[in-house]
Amino acid sequence: MDKKVTYHEQTDVENTLRLRDVLKTLPPFCRDFFRAIEPRTTTKTRISYAYDIRIFFQFLLEQNPVFKDWSMDAFTVDILDQITAIDLEEYEEYLKVYQAGDKTETNGERGLKRKMSSLRSFYAYYFKREMIHTNPTVLVDVPKIHQKSIIRLEADEVALLLDYIEHGGDDLTGQKKVYYEKTKDRDLALVTLLLGTGVRVSECVGLDIEDVDFKNNGIKVTRKGGNEMVVYFGPEVEKALKNYLEVRKNIVPVEGHEHALFYSTQRKRIGVQAVENLVKKYARQVTTTKKITPHKLRSTYGTALYQETGDIYLVADVLGHKDVNTTKKHYAALDDSRRRQAATAVKLRED
């Protein structure tokens, strides 16, 4: 019997091949950097670094007059010593809005910070190994991230969402009715799982049927960085999953997708984009003022868990945050029940 290849192993293979293709479009000396960071980074991280660094060199070719007649493979490592802090400040400004072929790309605070952080790591590698003598990236400020209010569903909206998935197609007819009935149990199980465990969408689509343990009501997920962890679920998730598994028994999967927990209508493992689309589709029927994504369902779970337990360390552990400070920044300030008391605590006039 062939060895089972997990979703995450397959994703790593695909990312590795994609990274090799991207490296062909970068200056040859860049390969040393990616070879060095391989043991401590994921394939997804390395792909992101490669795209970010390619934008930097494209900026030099397009915007810096010194390199206007150069080609990408003409860059050697000593070029990095010719770049000044002012060049990098111009690059940071460029990143806010730039053309990539026919497409206009933009970056907000988080995009700018990530791309500048990628460049810092890139420069640090060559500087530490004394292959260059300067590191101007440390002289340029990384954009400050302003915390935004977390968008999440309120308890009544969660109930409305699940009710709509369960009964929203009751009055449909024809092909719409057929499609709704075909996907209802899967979609309800998917959304209930996301809302009831807070797992990431990538962790959800990566689940295999063997990862579900009804004896202990847990699912084995592969977290960011490759670590495996069991996340436990309650009766509502259990019921939704079992109902879906009854439907799943009748699905004949495409070869190579036999182990997937959730299938697309093409009988293949459902993808991240498909889950994002179905969450968006259902959420539109519940709220028009909030842009709800699978990550917002994760935020909904994290917020509810914190408000129920008051245990930020439990929330960090269940959500798979490596640093509890990440959790504190996102969730500790969300319990605004005390803040709401301020509205009635101060009397402006006596009754």
346 Cα distance to chain centroid: 42
pTM of the model: 0.84
Please give the mean pLDDT across all residues of the chain: 91
Q: How confident is residue 3, by pLDDT bands cut at 50, 70 and 90?
A: low
Say whether pLDDT at 244 is over 90: yes
Please answer whether residues 274 and 286 qualify as being in contact, where contact means their C-beta atoms are separated by less than 8 angstroms: no
The CATH number, out of the four listed (1.10.443.10, 3.40.50.10860, 1.10.645.10, 3.20.20.80), of the domain defined by the range 155-335: 1.10.443.10
Give pLDDT tens digits for 198-213: 999 999 999 999 999 9
CA distances to 220, 224, 225, 237 from 228, in Å: 7, 9, 9, 20
Q: 7-139 architecture in CATH?
A: Orthogonal Bundle (1.10)
Which residue, among 268, 205, 192, 196, has the nearest Cα to 232 in the 3D structure?
Answer: 196
Can you give the residue ranges of every domain in the chain?
7-139, 155-335
Go through 96-125 and write b for each residue having 16 or more CB atoms within 10 A of its CB, e for each that does not.
eebeeeeeeeebeeeebbbbbebbbbbbeb
Apex 317 CA angle, 314 and 318, nearest 5: 85
Instruction: Please state which of the ranges 92-101, 183-192, 221-230, 323-332 shows the lowest mean pLDDT.
Output: 323-332
| 112-155 pLDDT per residue, tens | 999 999 999 999 999 999 999 999 999 999 888 877 777 899 99
